[in-house]
Amino acid sequence: MRIVAEHLTHTYNAGSPFAVKALDDVSLTIEEGEFFGVIGHTGSGKSTFVQHLNALIRLPSSLKHYKKPKAKKGQLPPPEPILKVGDFDLSSRKTDFRALRKNVGMVFQYPEYQLFAETVYEDVAFGLKNFAEKGHAPTKEETDAAVKEALEIVGLDFQAVKDMSPFDLSGGQKRRAAIAGVIVTRPEILVLDEPAAGLDPLGKREIMELLHTIHGKWCKTVVIVSHDMDEIAENCTRVAVFSEGRLVYALPPKELFQKAEELKSLGLDIPLTAKLVLALKARGVELSCDFTTEGLLSAILERKEGKA
C-alpha cells in the first residue's frame, strides 16, 4: 500500500490561546516496500504526521459537522488536505477506519506501557480479537498459531512466556511483547515511534534487527520515527525531515547526510559515518559513500587499494 499525503495541515486546540500549528502543508508520498525514516527536532510535527497514518488524528473533513473553511477576501481558499493509504481515503467520512487500522500497525513510544492483560498470550491476542470480522471470531487454534508466530518473530519463546504476566518480563522483553501485540494482525504498514528509545546499545541493535526481519516478510512497508541518525543512516531507504510542522527534505540518506550544515541549522545531528567523511575531507581525503558502516568501509578500502 502506498501512502500519499497532500497539503496535510493540523492545528492542535484550534481557536484557543493554546493553538499550535503542528503540521503545515505537508505533501509526501511513501512507496510500498520502503523502510522510511522520519526525523526532526522535538515538536517538529513528526509524531503528528505518523499519527495521521492510521487515523488516530483524523482529517477535519472526515469528521461529523465538518464545514469547508471559507477563503479570506482576495485570497484562494486553503488547499484541501488529502491523505490516502492504499485504497483508504482518510479525508472521507465513509472510510472503514477499523479496517484501516488493521492494515496500518502503530507502535508508540515506550510501547511496554500499553501492556495490560493478565498473561502475555492474552495481551498479544488483544488486537487479533478486536480486528476479527463480526461473527468470525478466530478459533483457539488460529489464535494460538498467530500469537506463537508473532512472539517468535520478536524473539520470545512462546512456551516460556505465554502464561507469564507481562509485568514480570524484563524491560526489553516487555517491549518485544508489545511489538508482537501490534504485528500479530499482520499489518501491511508498520509505523514505529522511537522503537529503540531508552534501550541499551545491544537492545537497540536487536530491535533494529527485528525490524529488518519484519520488514518485507510481515509488513511490506516500515515507517520509523527516530532521533538516532546512525539508526536512520544504517537502515532507511528514504528519510523525511520535519521542522516546525513543515516537510523540509524527503531524500535517501546518501543525499540527505551530505547536507550537514543545513541539518545542523535545523537542530539535527548527522550520523557518525558522515562525521568521519567530513573529518577526512578536512584532511584532504575526499570520499563518497552512502553513509552506512558497510558503505563507508568499502569506500575507504577502495581508496586504499587505488593508492597502493
Partner 1 sequence: MKDVAFGQYYPVSSFVHKLDPRLKLVFLIAFIVAIFLANNFYGLAACAAVLILTIAFSRVPIWKVLRSVRAVLFLVLFTTALNVLFYGGETVYAHWGIFTITKEGIIFSAFLVLRIMLLVMCSSMLTYTTTPVALTDGLESLLTPLKWIRFPVHALALIMSLALRMIPSLMEETERIKNAQKARGADFESGGLIKRVKAIVPILIPLLLSSFRRADELGEAMESRCYMGDKHRTKYKKLRFSWRDLLAFLLGAALVTGVVLLRVYLGATV
The SS3 of residue 108 is coil
Residue with cell 473533513: 61
238 binds partner 1 (CB under 8 A): no
The three three-digit cell numbers of residue 147, written as one number: 500469537
Residue closer to partner 1 (CB basis): 169 or 263: 169
Q: From edge to edge, which strands make up the β-sheet containing 20-30?
A: 20-30, 3-12, 82-85, 88-89
181 binds partner 1 (CB under 8 A): yes
Which helix (H) or strand (E) covers residue 25, if one does? strand 20-30
Identify the sign of the CA torsion 66, 29, 212, 259. negative
54 binds partner 1 (CB under 8 A): yes
User: With CB under 8 A as the contact rule, which of the stretches 35-43, 75-83, 110-118, 273-281 interacts with partner 1?
Assistant: 110-118
Q: From CA 196, how far away is CA 187, in angstroms rounded? A: 20
108 binds partner 1 (CB under 8 A): yes
Q: From CA 3, how far away is CA 231, in angstroms rounded? A: 23
Binder among 37, 40, 81, 111 for partner 1 (CB under 8 A): 111
CA-based angle 18:21:23, to the nearest 5? 150
Smallest gap from Cβ 162 to partner 1, in A, equals 18
Binder among 84, 101, 175, 215 for partner 1 (CB under 8 A): 101
Residue closer to partner 1 (CB basis): 97 or 249: 97
Residue closer to partner 1 (CB basis): 131 or 158: 131
Residue 207 near residue 122 (C-beta atoms within 8 A): no
Per-residue binding letters, 116-155, with partner 1 (x by CB under 8 A): xx--------xx--xx------------------------
Binding to partner 1 (CB under 8 A): which residues in 260-289?
none
182 binds partner 1 (CB under 8 A): yes
Binding to partner 1 (CB under 8 A): which residues in 81-100?
98
Residue 266 near residue 41 (C-beta atoms within 8 A): yes
Residue closer to partner 1 (CB basis): 126 or 158: 126
Q: How far is CA 109 from CA 64, 191, 192, 229, in A?
A: 30, 11, 8, 17
Number of residues binding to partner 1, judged by CB under 8 A: 25
Residue closer to partner 1 (CB basis): 131 or 249: 131
165 binds partner 1 (CB under 8 A): no
45 binds partner 1 (CB under 8 A): no
Q: From CA 285, how far away is CA 13, in angstroms rounded? A: 52
Residue closer to partner 1 (CB basis): 106 or 236: 106
Q: What share of the chain is helix, strand, coil (3-state, %, to 5)?
A: 40, 20, 40
Smallest gap from Cβ 52 to partner 1, in A, equals 12
Q: From CA 224, how far away is CA 39, in angstroms rounded? A: 9
Residue closer to partner 1 (CB basis): 30 or 182: 182
174 binds partner 1 (CB under 8 A): no
Smallest gap from Cβ 117 to partner 1, in A, equals 8
50 binds partner 1 (CB under 8 A): no
The tally of CA atoms less than 13 A away on the side-chain side of residue 177 is 31
Residues that bind partner 1 (CB under 8 A): 17-18, 51, 54, 56, 98, 101-102, 105-106, 108, 111, 113-117, 126-127, 130-131, 167, 181-182, 185
